[in-house]
Structure 1
Amino acid sequence: MQRALATHERQLLEFLLTVNRSFYGAYVQRWEAQIKTCLVHEVIVPYCLAISHDEIRLPSGGYTTLARELIGIDEGVPLLIYAYAVETQSGYVLDSFDIDRLDGEPLVAYPEPGDSLMIMEAGKRIGGADLRHVFKESDLLPRFKLPRDRLDGEAG
């Protein structure tokens, strides 16, 4: 069943978009507008939300996790907070928003946006709370930048 984002869900997703602003630029403005009116539906669990959009994914189009993810803690267990974007004819749109409690158990307390969350990029802490004692750093390849021409008409 589709529904609007709850206030606490929208606030957390807005925070995730804010920490990704320097990486994705004008796409973030588009995504912020998208989540103001979008509908979502739960996929298997209440914390995996598919974001409805009228756009059709390009057959060979990209599907990527946003470059920066958030780490939180719920009863001592790390949470991974992230979103996916999918390529459509009009550019990239948000496709899902997920919170994974890494022990597979249901959330006890919904994470709040802000300084209590650790910001990660390419497996490394780049800001926010220092939660490396519960979520270790790793060496991951950096995410690719989204093409600008799909959003603002500039060539490559």
Structure 2
Amino acid sequence: MGKRHRSVTLQADGQHLMTDVWTSVGVLVGIAAVWLTGWLWFDPIIALLVGANILFTGYRLLRSPLSNLLSRSLPEEELTTLNAALADFREECGVAFPSARTVQSGRHRHAFVVMAVPGDWSVNMTHELAHDLEDAIAAALPGTETFIHVEPLAGSDAH
């Protein structure tokens, strides 16, 4: 659920819970191994493995929130989804997208799109298309805030 909702807190809670589960399993395996074999050295070896798991999970928990504080482009699969939505509009409506930039910061994602339209289009027509594009991007990438800047298409009849 943490990945689905892009929530660092839920992801951290899930990893913390799994660390507790593996720690409990390690304790039980250590007790059983020593009891079954009589080899006392099993206990510290399993304790070291459990400790290494805790340290590794702690490192991942610290690294993930720190990287989420930094802005970055959307992941490649999400960029592909965005470009597919733009391609649909490019083909169906005869517009161009000279620039499309994305930013992801924490669970927030933004798309900044420049849409070039024929110069003789009305403001209403352009506004409707921009609204439809925002809806298409929201359907393809739920939770994305989209900003569309409109420019005249190069070589069109703009005044």
Return the structure number with greater strand share. 1
Q: Please indicate the TM-score interval, normalised by the length of the shorter structure.
A: 0.3 to 0.5
| Structure showing greater Rg | 2
Return the structure number with greater helix share. 2
Give the TM-score of the pair, scaled to structure 1. Answer: 0.33
Give the TM-score of the pair, scaled to structure 2. Answer: 0.33
